[in-house]
Amino acid sequence: MTDRTPGFSTLAIHAGAQPDPTTGARATPIYQTTSFVFDDVDHAASLFGLQTFGNIYTRIGNPTNAVLEERVAALEGGTAALAVASGHAAQVIALHVLMTPGDELVASKKLYGGSINQFNHSFKNFGWNVVWADPDDISTFERAITPKTKAIFIESIANPGGVITDIEAVANVARRAGVPLIVDNTLATPYLCRPFEHGADIVVHSLTKFLGGHGNSIGGVIVDGGTFNWSREGRYPMLSEPRPEYHGIVLHETFGNFAYAIACRVLSLRDLGPALSPFNAFLILTGIETLPLRMQRHCDNALAVAEWLASHEKVAWVSYPGLPGDRYHKLAKKYTPRGAGACFTFGLKGGYDAGVKLVSNVKLFSHLANIGDTRSLIIHPASTTHRQLTDAQKIQAGAGPDVVRLSVGLEDKEDIIADLEQALATA
């Protein structure tokens, strides 16, 4: 590698990795082990005391996972990252460092249905409360802020509606409030959007989706932007106050611009335990190597399919920011100039029943609850992923009764369109 800054495709292949020093293996090995041998007692003590970086136990860190973490951090432009067992685990760990019982999270209404459910219900067991804001009206974020607010949470491209959030505008709200902005960048990936460049402080991903890209492994990641002052006003004691479990170390003082990532690892992951399997880390790393190629093909195919659906007599509407007439097209040009992603929704004139029939009659598309696969995927959210929500919440989340969600894959676009055409004929 020369002194020049590597390009995105180069980072996707090389960041964090090098030939194995023992065997010369070029691919990152799978370190399928629970634990690691210490050099001596002093070495062990320095590892447990956070005085030396190294491997102790795979629940806390693993060499395969470390390559994945460094690669995603490099692609996002962050200072450090932590890989965990799933996207939902990433959200829990990311907030566990920041919140205490009675604290509040301001979140966009336009989120993945599973996240809405997690925030509304599961987080209450921690004593964490959510206040919802409308990404189409940035002033609602401002009004939702209270002294109890500890973070703002949005998606760069919302799942399933394809809503693109004005990250910079929400970041300004977060900055005025003195709280970090967390951006779920799963649908965009850093190939399409880099939230840190628009004012975000923390980025999370479901690695299960486009970063892994092949539907074969589950994982999540938290990326530290290294920009937030965690010692400000003592609002984040896990980072700004002495930690008794580490002999009084103040994490922000000790680790500076990657203190948040360290706190996620040594405080939250260590004790809550949603560790990522090294084998899954290996699969996701392999997927990331082709991320720029895949994402561009996803975007090109999705635009072609969206254009075709928009002219179909049985389709009432198409919500895809890549279409010039879409309400989010201007934001797409700003935040995702290479393309508007692979996922979008459309509505059938026949409503709920037509949606059910459509997903029941596709042949090339797979009817399942995932996105980001090489294969084209389809789902009717109101009857599946979002069915736990009320009708009003479904509509707010972009998952009303007539909505069908597509995750457009890498097949030939003519074959994708032909499958939808034959299935729509039966709907």
Q: Splitting the chain (427 residues) into consecutive groups of 10 residues, what average pLDDT does each group show?
A: 84 95 94 96 94 95 98 98 98 98 96 91 97 97 98 94 93 98 98 98 98 97 98 94 95 97 98 98 98 98 98 96 96 97 94 92 95 96 78 77 94 98 92
Pairing of strands 129-133, 366-367: unpaired
Q: Environment class of residue 312 by beta-carbon count within 10 Å: exposed (0-12), middle (13-18) or buried (19+)?
A: middle
pLDDT at 81: 98
Strand blocks (E) in 207-313: 220-224
Buried b (16+ CB within 10 A) or exposed e, 29-52: ebbeeeeeebeeeeeeeebeebee
Return the residue matching tokens 């309400």. Answer: 327
**What is the distance between the alpha carbons of residues 123 and 130, in angstroms, rounded to a whole number?**
8
Q: Classify 105 as helix, strand or coil.
A: strand
DSSP 163: P
Residue 63: count of CB within 10 angstroms of its CB: 18
Residue 292 per-residue DSSP state: H
Tokens for 178? Answer: 């003195």
| Cβ proximity of 181 and 152 under 8 Å | yes
Residue 2 pLDDT: 60
**String of DSSP letters for 353-403:** HHHHHHHHH-SSSEESS----SS-EEE-GGGTTTTTS-HHHHHHTT--TTE
Give the chain's domains with CATH numbers: 8-287 (3.40.640.10), 292-426 (3.90.1150.10)
The confidence score (pLDDT) of residue 3 equals: 78
**Cα dihedral: 194, 197, 201, 205 (round 10):** 0
